Amino acid sequence: YDIRFPELARSYALDGAGILVNSAEWPHPRLNHWRTLMQARAIENQMYVVACNRVGISGKTEFCGHSMVIDPWGEILVEGGEEEAILIAEIDLTLIEEVRGKIPVFADRRPDLYK
């Protein structure tokens, strides 16, 4: 649920984080939101996102899984399905600074305009 609030990921990025790890229990009907929001957080903060989502059923809720690792360009490097799995992805830490250098969103932002 917390990934719906972009300010949290942005605050981590502004503090120098290059990887955001998010664990969640997203239900199956919102799979598209899960994927889109995770990619958005990676792109807008130019960081890797390691998104771990629950699978299976609890009561009447079916969880969608689809854990994934996303790079700072928003590309999904590896994605699981709807069953338990171990995912492995190579994370190139130099890519973070490369992306941040090409599109300097942190230097160009104007927080004074929206206070």
Domain boundaries, the chain: 2-114
Q: What is the pTM of this model?
A: 0.93
Q: Supply the pLDDT for residue 96.
A: 98
CA-CA distance, 105 to 102, in Å (whole number)?
Answer: 9
Please tell me the CATH code under which domain 2-114 is placed: 3.60.110.10
* Phi, psi torsion values for 63, nearest 5 degrees: -90, 145
Beta bridge partners of 51: 22, 68
Model confidence pLDDT, tens digit, residues 52-109 = 999 999 999 999 999 999 999 999 999 999 999 999 999 999 999 999 999 999 999 9
* Phi, psi torsion values for 49, nearest 5 degrees: -125, 125
Q: Is the pLDDT of residue 1 over 90?
A: no
